C-alpha cells in the first residue's frame, strides 16, 4: 500500500500597518525591548482596545485577491489562555465570524499542471509578545513590542499532498500578500510564519489520520524540510504498528527535526466568547467596492500579460511576475530600453546575481531600473559590447555613476573606426601564421568555426572594445582572400 | 459648609464666601475625624488635593473659571489616577500606582475639580455590601453596624457622612444605585456608552458604566456634565451629543407618564419600602404625572442571566492580573504555573475567585451554549421588556432595593442572598438603559431609595423628574445624626 | 447542576487560581448553588432569540492608522514586579 500525506497550512501574515491593531504604538521591527509597548499593549488595568481601520482594509483586500467571501459582519472573539507574552490573558481573534471566508489560490506544480488549493478562512488577530529564554539563567524575559501587531491568519483546506505542494502554496500566498502591499513578507523577522498540519494515510482512504501541527516555521526551505521529516516520522511510526499522537511540535532548524512542545502538552480549553470591549465590524458594498478598486494586478494576471505584451517565455514570465517590486523593475527596464527580452535577461541574470551575492532587496538596488535601462540602450546602439556592459554594470553597482559616465570615464566606448579595426586585424593575421595556414588549408565549410580564434585575439587586443560585427566581417574578408589566393 | 450641595458650594466659591483651599481643608479635616469609623476612603490624597485647590483658587483669581473649578470630589478606587494608588479594593493592586488617568478623571482635572482621594469599594466591584474590599468594609453613616451597600459603598458612605460633596461611582448590576439607596443619597447610572470606560478597571465590560453620586439630582446633573461624552479610546463609547444636564431640571412634570412594573412590587420586599415608594409616587402625581401599571415579565431571569454574563466577562477581564507586568506577585515562585496560581490565589479575595470560577466554567467547552449563549438570549428578552414598557410610559419607577441596609456580616456567608439584593437594579444593566436612585423616606431609621428608569439617553428626563421630586420633598436633605 | 472536587480543581487550573485544599468543598457548594440559580434560564425557550452581546446594537468604530504612543517604558515599568534590561522577568518558561 502506498502512503499519502495530507497537509493543511495556517499562515500568519503580519499586516504592514504603522500602528498596532488595537493601540497607537508603533509596529516597527527591531526596537529596544518594551519601548513600543504602550499601556494598552501591556494590558494595564482599565485600558481598552480601538480597532485600526487599516488592518480591516488590508484583510478585505486579501479576501478580494483570493476571490473569497467577505464577512460583512465580523466579530472579534477572545481566546483565553495564560502565557507570559500574552498580556491580557487572552488573544483577541475571530473565531465565529471571520472577516474573510472561503476562497482559493491556484498553484503551479513541477509538471506544469495547475492545482487549486482552498482557503478555508482568513481572520484578524493580534500577535503576542516575545519570550526570551536564553538571556537569563533562571528567568525568561518578556518583550511586548510585538504584542498587538495585526496578523492575518490564513487557514488552508487540507488540500496539499506533498511538501512541494505545500511550499508552492506558501510561496503563492507570500507573493499575494507582498504584491498587495499588506505584508512585508520578511520571514526572518517573523512577518510571515507558517504552522504546518500534517497527517498521513493510505492512498485512496477517505478518513484523515491523526495530525500534528509544527509551529512557526520561518523559511520556505524549512517548511519543506519540516514537512518531509514529519511525513517520514509518521510513516515510520505507523509502519512499526505505532500510533500518531495529535500534538503541537516545534521545528528545530539546527537539528532539522520537530519535537513536541512542552508548553502545549495539556489539552487547551480556550473559552472563546465575543470580546465585549469591541463591537461588531460591519461593512457594506460601498466599502468593499472602494477596496476592490485599489486591488493591484496579481501575479497570475501579470504573468499572462507579460507573455502577451512582452512575448516572454512561460518561465521568464513566471519569475518576473511573482513579486510586485521585481515586476515593476523589469517593466521599467524593458520600457526604458525598449527591449523586453534583453531586459528579462539582465534582470534575471546580472542584476539577480548581484542582488543575491549582496543579500540586497530589489527595492534597495544601487542600480535603478532607469539606470539599467540606460545601460541596455548603450548595448543596443553599439556604444558598448555586451561583455563590456557587464563591466559597466559592476561599476554602476559600485556607485561609479550612470552607464554613460562609466563608459566615458573608463574609456569603454566600442571601437567602430574601421581604420583602427583593420590595423588590429592585420596585426593579428601577421602574428599568427600557423593558424592562418590551417585556415587556408581547411575545407571551406570548416573555416567558419576557425574564425573564432582570430576574433578572440582581436577583441583581446582591443580590450573588448572593438565592434565584434565589424571585426568578424573584416577577418572573414581578409582570411578568405588569403585562402582564395 | 459640609452639608451643602455641590451647587451651593459652587455658589460659595463664586461669591468668595470661602476659597477652594479652605473648603478642601474642611473636608480633609472631616475625613481625618470621621473616616476611622466609616472607612469610606482607601486612599486620601491631602497634598494633591490642596495643590489642586490652590491651583483652582489661582485659576479663579485669573478669571478662568469652570463650573467645577475648586469643587472637591472623590473617585471610586476603580478609576485609574496617575501617581496615586488605584487598588480596585484588591490586594492584587494594593501596590499599583497608576501611570495614567482614566478619561473620567481627566475630565474632572480639566474642569478644575479637586480630588480628595479614592473611595472604598467591593473588590473589583464584585459585591453589594462593600464587605469584599481588601481594605475592610466601609460603614453606613446612618448606622455603622450596617453596610453602605456596594460596590460603590465608599463613595455613598463618604457623601452621606459629609466627607465629600460628591463622588464618582460605577454600576455593573446596581453598584451606584443600591449604595445610593442604602445611604440616602442620589446616584445615577447613565446609558451604557454615555460615560467613557477608559481607565475604569473592567469588571464586566458590557455592563459596566461609570456615573455620578451626590446629595441631589442637581448635583448629579453637574457631575454628569463633566463625566459624559464620546471617548475615542473606548470603542463602546457612543458618539452622541451631550446636553447640559442642568438645563431641563426645572421643567414641569405635568403629563409625565409613569409606569409601575408589577414585578417590582411583589415577592421578597420589605413592606415599609413598598409604602415609602408608593408615597413618593403620589408625590409625583401631585406634581402632575400620571401613573399606570406596566409589566417587565422577565425580571426574574435577570439575576440568573447576570450571574453568567458578568462572571464570564470578569473571568476573562481579570486574566491580565497575572503578576507579570504589575500588581501582586507571590513570594518565590518555583515556576511559572506556581507564580500564576499563587499570585492570583493570594491576590484575589473569595468573592472574586468565586465569580472567576463561575465564569470560567460557563465559558468552558461544552457549556457555552447552555450558559453564555442562553444568558445573552435572555438578555435580549429583558431588554425588549424595557423597550416595550418604555413605549407606553416616559419613566418607570419602583424601589431601588428590596430591603434597607442590612447588618455587616448578615449576608456574607450566603452569596445568593446577597445577589438577590440587586433584583431591581440588575436588569437595567443588561438592557443598558439609565436609572437613578433618589432618597424617598426611611424604613427602621434607614434610608429608602426610589428608582427612576428611562429609555436610552433619557438622563435629562430622569434628572428633571428626580429634581422636581426633590424640590417637593426633603428626604435628600436628611443627614445621619452626628 | 452540582460540581464535585474534580470539577473545581479543573476550573481552578483553567483560571490559574490556587485554591486551598480545605476550601475546595465550600467552592464546590457555592458554585453549585450559583449554577442552580442560573439554571432557571433553562426553562425559557430562546430558540429564535438573537443573543445580545452589547446593550445597544452599535458597530465598531475604526481608528486611523497613526502612531500616537511613543516610548513610555520607564514610566510603565515603575509598577512591574521584576524587570531586567527592559524585559519583564518571569520564572523560566520551557517551550
Q: Is the CB of residue B399 less than 8 Å from the CB of residue B180?
A: no
pLDDT classification of B263: cutoffs 50, 70, 90: very high
Q: How far apart are CA A148 and CA C67, in angstroms?
A: 13
pLDDT at B1 over 70: no
What's the pLDDT tens digit per position in B193-215?
999 999 999 999 999 999 999 99
Q: How far apart are CA B289 and CA B465, in angstroms?
A: 10
Residue of A224, A222, A116 lying closest to A162 (CA atoms) = A224
pLDDT at A264: 62
* Structural domains in chain B, sorted by start: 1-240+247-482 (3.90.1300.10)
- Taking the Cβ of residue C71 and every Cβ of chain A, the question of whether any pair is shorter than 8 Å is answered with yes
pLDDT classification of B216: cutoffs 50, 70, 90: very high
Helix or strand run (H / E) with residue A140: strand A139-143
In sequence order, what are the beta bridge partners of A274?
A: A77
In the residue annotation, B76 being an active-site residue is answered as yes
In the residue annotation, B4 being an active-site residue is answered as no
Q: What percent of chain C has pLDDT over 70?
A: 99
- Residues of chain B with Cβ-Cβ distance to A24 below 8 Å are none
- Nearest beta carbon to residue B322 from set A51, A82, A269: A82
pLDDT at A324 over 90: no
- Residues of chain B with Cβ-Cβ distance to C82 below 8 Å are 329
CB contact under 8 A, C88 and B379: no
What's the pLDDT tens digit per position in B108-143?
999 999 999 999 999 999 999 999 999 999 999 999
- Residues of chain C with Cβ-Cβ distance to A36 below 8 Å are 71
- Nearest beta carbon to residue B235 from set C12, C61, C88: C61
- Taking the Cβ of residue C66 and every Cβ of chain A, the question of whether any pair is shorter than 8 Å is answered with yes
CA atoms within 13 A on the CB side of B245: 29
Q: How far apart are CA B140 and CA B128, in angstroms?
A: 13
Most confidently modeled of A249-263, A420-434, B177-191, C1-15?
B177-191
Q: What percent of chain B has pLDDT over 90?
A: 95
Q: Which residues of B298-331 are buried (b: 16+ CB within 10 A; e: fewer)?
A: bbebbbbbbbbbbbbbbbbbbbbbbbbbbbbbbe
* Structural domains in chain C, sorted by start: 5-41 (1.10.20)
pLDDT at A257: 83
pLDDT at A7 over 60: yes
CB contact under 8 A, C91 and A143: no
A104 in helix, strand or coil? Answer: strand
pLDDT at B161: 97
- Taking the Cβ of residue A136 and every Cβ of chain C, the question of whether any pair is shorter than 8 Å is answered with yes
DSSP B263-328: GGGSSS--HHHHHHHHHHHHHHHHTT-EEEEE--TTGGGHHHHHHHHHHHHHHHHGGG-SSSSSS-
For the residues B346-370, what does the mean pLDDT come to?
95
Least confident of A72-86, A132-146, B268-282: A132-146
C65 preceded by cis ω (within 30°)? no
CB contact under 8 A, A277 and B201: no
A271 in helix, strand or coil? Answer: coil
CB contact under 8 A, A44 and C76: yes
For the residues B88-96, what does the mean pLDDT come to?
98
What's the pLDDT tens digit per position in A170-225?
999 999 999 999 999 999 999 999 999 999 999 989 999 999 999 878 899 999 99
pLDDT at A309: 94
- Nearest beta carbon to residue B325 from set C14, C50, C80: C80
- Nearest beta carbon to residue C52 from set B327, B345, B383: B383
pLDDT classification of A150: cutoffs 50, 70, 90: very high
Q: Is the CB of residue B84 less than 8 Å from the CB of residue B98?
A: yes
CB contact under 8 A, C79 and B431: no
Interface pTM (ipTM) of the complex? 0.97
pLDDT at A294 over 80: yes
For the residues B351-358, what does the mean pLDDT come to?
96
Q: How far apart are CA A461 and CA A448, in angstroms?
A: 21
Average pLDDT, chain B: 96
What's the pLDDT tens digit per position in A268-291?
899 999 999 999 999 999 999 999
pLDDT at A243: 93
pLDDT classification of B40: cutoffs 50, 70, 90: very high
pLDDT at C95 over 80: no
Most confidently modeled of A253-267, A319-333, B304-318?
B304-318
In the residue annotation, B407 being an active-site residue is answered as no
- Residues of chain B with Cβ-Cβ distance to A278 below 8 Å are 235
pLDDT at A408: 84
Q: A158 CA to chain B: closest CA distance, Å?
A: 25
Helix or strand run (H / E) with residue A73: strand A73-74
Q: Is the CB of residue A88 less than 8 Å from the CB of residue A127?
A: no
Q: How far apart are CA A218 and CA B348, in angstroms?
A: 41
What backbone phi and psi angles, to 5 degrees, belong to B259? -110, 135
**For residue B476, how far is the Cα from the chain centroid?**
17
Least confident of A11-25, A287-301, B43-57: A287-301
What's the pLDDT tens digit per position in C14-48?
999 999 999 999 999 999 999 999 999 999 999 99
Q: Is the CB of residue B165 less than 8 Å from the CB of residue B71?
A: yes
pLDDT classification of A267: cutoffs 50, 70, 90: low
Residue tagged 542582488 (cell numbers) = A355
- Taking the Cβ of residue A172 and every Cβ of chain B, the question of whether any pair is shorter than 8 Å is answered with no
Q: Is the CB of residue A216 less than 8 Å from the CB of residue A258?
A: no
CATH architecture assignment, domain A418-483: Orthogonal Bundle (1.10)
- Taking the Cβ of residue C61 and every Cβ of chain A, the question of whether any pair is shorter than 8 Å is answered with yes
A116: left (phi over 0), alpha (psi -120 to 50) or beta: beta
pLDDT at A103 over 60: yes
pLDDT classification of A265: cutoffs 50, 70, 90: low
Which of B76, B118, B189, B411 is the catalytic position?
A: B76
Q: What is the residue extent of each domain of chain A?
A: 3-288, 297-410, 418-483
pLDDT at A416 over 80: no
Q: Which triple of cell numbers denotes residue A450?
A: 576557425
Q: How far apart are CA B468 and CA B394, in angstroms?
A: 15
pLDDT classification of A452: cutoffs 50, 70, 90: confident
Angle in degrees, CA B375, B315, C49, rounded to 5: 15
The residues near C59 (Cβ < 8 Å, ≥ 6 apart) are A279, A280, A281, A282
Q: How far apart are CA A62 and CA A71, in angstroms?
A: 12
Q: What chain C residue is nearest to A265 in terms of C-alpha separation?
A: C95
Angle in degrees, CA B149, B155, B158, rounded to 5: 100
- Nearest beta carbon to residue C95 from set A53, A82, A250: A250
Amino acid at each position: 500500500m502506498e502512503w499519502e500525506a495530507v497537509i493543511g497550512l495556517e499562515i500568519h501574515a503580519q499586516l504592514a500597518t504603522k500602528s498596532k491593531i488595537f493601540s497607537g504604538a508603533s509596529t516597527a521591527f527591531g526596537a529596544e525591548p518594551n519601548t513600543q509597548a504602550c499601556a494598552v499593549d501591556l494590558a494595564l488595568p482599565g485600558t481598552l482596545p480601538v480597532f485600526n481601520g487599516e488592518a480591516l482594509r488590508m484583510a478585505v483586500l486579501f479576501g478580494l485577491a483570493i476571490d473569497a467571501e467577505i464577512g460583512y459582519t465580523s466579530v472579534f472573539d477572545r481566546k483565553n489562555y495564560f502565557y507570559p507574552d500574552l498580556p491580557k490573558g487572552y488573544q483577541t481573534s475571530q473565531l465565529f465570524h471571520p472577516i474573510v471566508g472561503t476562497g482559493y489560490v491556484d498553484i503551479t506544480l513541477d509538471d506544469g499542471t495547475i492545482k487549486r488549493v482552498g482557503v478555508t478562512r482568513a481572520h484578524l488577530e493580534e500577535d503576542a509578545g516575545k519570550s526570551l529564554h536564553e538571556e537569563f539563567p533562571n528567568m525568561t524575559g518578556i518583550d511586548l513590542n510585538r504584542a498587538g501587531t495585526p496578523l492575518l491568519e490564513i487557514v488552508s483546506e487540507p488540500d496539499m499532498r506533498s511538501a512541494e505542494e505545500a511550499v508552492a502554496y506558501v510561496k503563492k500566498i507570500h507573493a499575494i500578500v507582498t504584491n498587495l502591499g499588506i505584508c512585508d513578507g520578511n520571514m526572518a523577522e517573523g512577518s510571515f510564519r507558517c504552522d504546518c498540519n500534517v497527517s498521513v494515510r493510505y492512498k485512496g482512504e477517505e478518513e484523515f489520520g491523526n495530525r500534528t501541527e509544527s509551529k512557526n516555521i520561518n523559511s520556505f526551505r524549512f517548511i519543506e524540510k519540516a514537512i518531509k521529516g514529519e511525513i517520514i516520522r509518521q510513516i515510520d511510526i505507523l509502519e512499526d504498528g505505532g500510533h500518531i499522537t495529535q500534538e503541537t511540535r516545534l521545528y528545530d532548524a539546527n537539528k532539522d527535526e520537530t519535537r513536541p512542545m512542552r508548553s502545549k502538552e495539556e489539552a487547551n480549553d480556550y473559552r472563546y466568547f465575543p470580546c465585549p470591549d469591541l463591537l461588531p465590524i460591519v461593512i457594506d458594498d460601498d466599502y468593499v467596492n472602494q477596496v476592490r478598486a485599489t486591488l493591484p494586478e496579481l501575479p497570475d494576471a501579470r504573468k499572462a500579460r507579460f507573455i502577451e505584451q512582452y512575448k516572454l517565455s512561460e518561465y521568464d514570465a513566471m519569475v518576473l511576475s511573482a513579486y510586485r517590486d521585481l515586476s515593476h523593475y523589469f517593466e521599467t527596464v524593458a520600457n526604458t530600453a525598449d527591449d523586453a527580452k534583453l531586459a528579462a535577461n539582465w534582470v534575471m541574470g546580472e542584476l539577480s546575481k548581484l542582488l543575491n551575492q549582496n543579500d540586497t532587496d530589489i527595492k534597495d538596488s544601487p542600480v535603478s531600473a532607469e539606470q539599467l535601462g540606460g545601460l541596455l540602450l548603450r548595448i543596443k546602439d553599439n556604444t558598448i559590447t555586451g561583455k563590456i556592459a557587464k563591466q559597466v554594470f559592476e561599476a554602476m553597482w559600485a556607485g561609479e555613476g550612470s552607464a554613460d559616465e562609466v563608459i566615458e570615464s573608463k574609456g569603454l566606448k566600442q571601437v567602430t573606426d574601421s581604420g583602427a579595426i583593420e590595423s588590429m586585424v592585420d596585426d593579428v593575421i601577421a602574428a599568427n601564421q600557423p593558424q592562418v595556414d590551417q585556415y587556408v588549408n581547411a575545407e571551406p565549410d570548416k573555416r567558419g568555426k576557425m574564425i573564432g580564434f582570430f576574433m578572440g585575439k582581436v577583441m583581446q587586443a582591443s580590450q573588448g572594445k572593438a565592434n565584434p560585427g565589424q571585426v568578424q566581417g573584416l577577418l572573414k574578408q581578409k582570411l578568405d582572400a588569403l585562402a582564395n589566393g | 459648609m459640609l452639608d451643602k450641595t455641590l451647587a451651593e458650594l459652587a455658589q460659595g466659591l463664586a461669591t468668595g464666601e470661602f476659597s477652594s483651599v479652605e473648603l478642601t481643608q474642611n473636608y480633609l479635616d472631616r475625613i481625618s475625624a470621621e473616616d476611622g469609623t466609616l472607612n469610606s476612603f482607601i486612599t486620601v490624597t491631602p497634598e494633591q488635593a490642596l495643590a489642586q485647590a490652590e491651583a483652582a483658587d489661582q485659576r479663579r483669581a485669573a478669571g478662568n473659571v469652570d463650573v467645577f473649578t475648586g469643587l472637591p470630589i472623590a473617585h471610586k478606587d476603580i478609576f485609574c489616577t496617575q501617581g496615586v494608588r488605584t487598588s480596585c479594593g484588591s490586594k492584587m493592586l494594593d501596590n499599583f500606582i497608576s501611570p495614567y488617568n482614566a478619561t473620567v478623571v481627566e475630565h474632572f482635572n480639566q474642569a478644575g475639580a479637586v480630588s480628595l482621594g479614592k473611595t472604598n469599594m467591593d473588590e473589583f466591584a464584585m459585591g453589594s455590601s462593600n464587605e469584599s474590599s481588601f481594605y475592610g468594609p466601609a460603614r453606613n453613616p446612618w448606622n455603622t453596624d450596617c453596610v453602605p451597600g456596594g460596590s460603590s459603598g465608599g463613595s455613598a458612605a463618604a457623601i452621606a457622612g459629609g466627607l465629600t460633596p460628591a463622588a464618582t461611582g460605577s454600576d455593573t448590576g446596581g453598584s451606584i444605585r443600591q449604595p445610593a439607596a442604602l445611604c440616602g443619597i442620589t446616584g445615577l447610572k447613565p446609558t451604557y456608552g454615555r460615560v467613557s470606560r477608559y481607565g475604569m478597571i473592567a469588571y464586566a465590560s458590557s455592563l459596566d458604566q461609570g456615573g455620578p453620586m451626590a446629595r441631589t439630582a442637581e448635583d448629579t446633573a453637574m457631575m454628569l456634565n463633566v463625566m459624559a461624552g464620546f471617548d475615542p479610546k473606548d470603542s463602546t463609547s457612543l458618539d452622541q451629543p451631550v446636553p447640559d444636564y442642568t438645563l431641563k431640571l426645572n421643567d414641569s412634570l405635568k403629563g409625565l407618564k409613569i409606569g409601575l412594573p408589577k414585578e417590582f412590587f411583589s415577592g421578597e420586599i420589605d413592606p415599609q419600602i413598598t409604602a415609602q415608594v408608593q408615597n413618593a409616587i403620589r408625590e409625583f402625581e401631585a406634581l402632575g404625572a400620571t401613573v399606570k401599571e406596566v409589566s417587565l415579565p422577565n425580571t426574574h431571569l435577570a439575576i440568573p442571566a447576570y450571574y453568567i454574563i458578568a462572571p464570564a466577562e470578569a473571568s476573562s477581564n481579570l486574566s491580565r492580573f497575572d503578576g507579570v507586568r504589575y500588581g501582586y506577585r507571590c513570594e518565590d515562585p518555583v515556576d511559572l504555573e506556581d507564580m500564576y496560581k499563587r499570585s492570583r490565589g493570594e491576590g484575589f479575595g473569595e468573592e472574586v475567585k468565586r465569580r472567576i470560577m463561575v465564569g470560567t466554567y460557563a465559558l468552558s467547552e461544552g457549556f457555552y451554549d447552555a450558559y453564555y449563549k442562553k444568558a445573552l438570549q435572555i438578555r435580549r428578552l429583558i431588554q425588549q421588556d424595557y423597550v416595550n414598557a418604555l413605549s407606553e410610559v416616559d419613566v418607570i419607577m419602583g424601589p431601588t432595593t428590596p430591603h434597607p441596609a442590612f447588618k455587616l456580616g448578615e449576608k456574607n456567608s450566603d452569596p445568593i442572598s446577597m445577589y438577590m439584593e440587586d433584583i431591581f437594579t440588575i436588569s437595567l444593566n443588561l438592557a443598558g438603559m439609565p436609572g437613578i436612585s433618589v432618597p424617598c423616606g426611611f424604613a427602621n431609621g434607614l434610608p429608602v431609595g426610589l428608582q427612576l428608569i428611562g429609555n436610552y439617553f433619557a438622563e435629562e428626563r430622569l434628572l428633571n423628574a428626580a429634581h422636581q421630586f426633590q424640590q417637593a420633598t426633603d428626604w435628600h436633605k436628611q443627614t445621619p445624626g452626628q | 447542576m452540582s460540581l464535585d472536587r474534580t470539577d473545581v480543581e479543573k476550573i481552578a487550573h483553567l483560571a490559574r487560581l490556587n485554591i486551598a485544599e480545605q476550601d475546595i468543598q465550600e467552592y464546590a457548594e457555592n458554585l453549585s448553588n450559583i449554577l442552580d440559580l442560573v439554571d432557571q434560564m433553562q426553562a425559557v425557550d430562546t430558540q429564535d432569540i438573537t443573543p445580545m452581546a452589547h446593550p445597544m446594537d452599535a458597530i465598531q468604530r475604526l481608528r486611523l492608522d497613526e502612531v500616537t504612543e511613543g516610548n513610555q517604558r520607564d514610566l510603565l515599568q515603575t509598577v512591574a514586579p521584576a524587570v531586567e534590561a527592559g524585559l519583564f522577568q518571569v520564572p523560566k518558561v520551557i517551550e
